[in-house]
Amino acid sequence: MMKINRPSNISLAILIIFLAMVFLKSADGSFRLGERNKGESIQVETCAHHEDCKSSELCAYGICVIGCNKRCAWNEICKSENRTFSCECLPGYVHDGIWKTCKRKCYNSGICEDYEECRYGMCQTVIHQMSKCGWNSWHIAKNHKPLCVCPPKFGGDPYAGCRKRCNTSYDCEDYDICHKNLCKSACHPHIKPCAYSEKCEVENHIAHCVDGKNENEHCQEDSDCDIKSFCNNITSVCTPLCSSYSCNDNERCTETIDNSTTTVMRSYKCDCDSKSLDGDDSSRCYKGK
């Protein structure tokens, strides 16, 4: 009885490749031995060790295969040398040591994408300064520069604050009304429903004027508040410019209002009061004798 030896893994691999070579389909639809679609012959090199293959190849299952199978990141290419494999940046790209990625090399922003700018010799995403954009606005990049815009269904000045668009007051929150197709506080100073000495309260989109100072009202931007108040971004309420914590001890707080631009600039300054001496370089006032 004839004994049949079980083929080894190497023999199986060679057999599979041989069959693939036999049944390769050419461009005209016929099958030709040892030819690719472009008419190039297939050459398979057998091996027993890595050293039997080229320096860019490895010996796997008795066949020399391309060894650079390492997965590289975007804009990277795998390089092999003496069977050592590494990822390198594509031509025209440089490595960003902070983000560990390859970015396009540049000398000016013109070569970069619209949302990028040339910074430190690399095309990088435009830096947004969060403080420049107002309430509910979006930070985007256009023409390699940061830009503030209002999102869909919102309008107004994106640098001061975006407001929800509306047709009627019922499209707005309970404390807002629809004013010039934008939701605004029913107690907005531009609407002026109450006198300065009165407190404005809102219920079902209707402003009611009651006795008391008009402070601690809901706001989204400084223009929602009295001229001597600002909108606190944390509490969303109108807060006086000069409060008990605005200045240090023995200092006098004074509101400063600048109407020279389209947006009113509100701030305050601290000076030594008449009963205090001038302070030192730390700008602190000392109580006089």
Q: What DSSP designation does 11 have?
A: H
Query: 217 CB contacts (<8 Å, ≥6 apart)?
Result: 185, 187, 199, 200, 224, 225, 237, 238
CA distances from 168 to 91, 176, 183 (A): 58, 10, 9
pLDDT at 3: 46
CA distances from 228 to 97, 166, 268 (A): 49, 29, 9
For the chain, the structural domain boundaries read: 9-66, 76-125, 173-240, 244-289
Backbone φ/ψ region at 67: left (φ over 0), alpha (ψ -120 to 50), beta: alpha
User: Cα–Cα distance between 251 and 267 in angstroms, integer?
Assistant: 16
Query: 150 CB contacts (<8 Å, ≥6 apart)?
Result: 136, 137, 138, 156, 158, 162
Q: What is the largest CA-CA distance in the chain?
A: 124
Q: Are 261 and 273 in contact (CB under 8 A)?
A: no
Distance of alpha carbon 65 from its chain centroid, rounded?
42
User: Cα–Cα distance between 48 and 62 in angstroms, integer?
Assistant: 6
Q: What DSSP designation does 247 have?
A: S
pLDDT at 103: 94
- HSE-up of 84 (CA within 13 Å, CB side)? 3
pLDDT at 30: 35
**Token pair belonging to 279:** 């302070």
**Token pair belonging to 170:** 């019922």
pLDDT at 83: 75
Dihedral (C-alpha) 232, 235, 239, 245: value to the nearest 10 degrees? Answer: -90
The residue with tokens 């023409």 is 143
Q: What is the mean pLDDT of each run of 10 residues along the chain (289 residues)?
A: 48 49 38 43 79 83 78 85 84 89 93 92 83 83 91 91 92 89 82 70 83 61 76 74 69 76 71 59 49
CA angle 154/158/163 to nearest 5° reads 35
Q: What DSSP designation does 221 have?
A: S
Q: Where are the alpha helices (DSSP H) in 23-124?
A: none
The amino acid occupying position 145 is: K
Cα dihedral sign, 67-73-77-82: negative
pLDDT at 8: 55
